[in-house]
């Protein structure tokens, strides 16, 4: 069994770091740098786990894309795998809208999101895990389907 090449791992690390950067930029822009640091200190385990999960998904996605490209076949499986990653990240960051929603007049939604912050973190982690399993299964299926082509 071949190991995952360095390039997808590099993409995963960069994606994980980039997501942390987006977190700090977004929260700092909305609520200030002190609030961003306070939230990170308070929820670092959720934020770093979400970032790492996203990085793993990007690495697996890149690896799957390379496998598909190598075999010169349809890329539909890669597109479907990427959709799960996007859904996980949207649910991850949705609770930060709580700081801006009152400004645009959606106070009830802001209150609801703020009360569900931990649940949204868990939802993001669950969706990350689903994305990792989904992409991993697609890699396994792809390798099994094309193992006979190589023989």
- Report yes or no on whether pTM surpasses 0.75: no
pLDDT digits (tens, 9 = 90+) for 64-118: 888 877 765 555 554 554 555 555 555 555 555 555 555 545 555 445 555 667 7
**What are φ and ψ of residue 73, in 5° steps?**
-125, -175
C-alpha pair distances (Å), 143 with each of 73, 80, 146: 13, 17, 5
- Domain-wise residue ranges, the chain: 6-150
- Cα-Cα-Cα-Cα dihedral sign, residues 93, 95, 96, 101: positive
85 neighbors 33 (Cβ within 8 angstroms): no
Is a pLDDT exceeding 60 seen at residue 41? yes
């Amino acid at each position: 069994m071949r190991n995952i090449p360095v390039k997808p791992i590099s993409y995963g690390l960069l994606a994980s770091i980039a997501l942390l950067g987006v977190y700090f930029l977004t929260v700092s822009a909305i609520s200030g740098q002190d609030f961003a640091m306070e939230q990170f200190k308070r929820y670092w385990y959720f934020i770093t786990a979400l970032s790492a999960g996203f990085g793993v998904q990007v690495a697996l996605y890149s690896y799957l894309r390379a496998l598909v490209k190598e075999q010169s076949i349809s890329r539909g499986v890669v597109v479907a795998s990427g959709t799960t990653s996007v859904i996980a990240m949207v649910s991850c960051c949705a609770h930060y809208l709580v700081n801006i929603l009152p400004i645009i007049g959606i106070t009830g939604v802001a209150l609801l999101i703020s009360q569900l912050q931990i649940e949204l973190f868990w939802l993001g982690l669950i969706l990350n895990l689903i994305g990792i399993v989904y992409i991993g299964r697609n890699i396994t299926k792809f390798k099994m389907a094309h193992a006979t082509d190589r023989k």
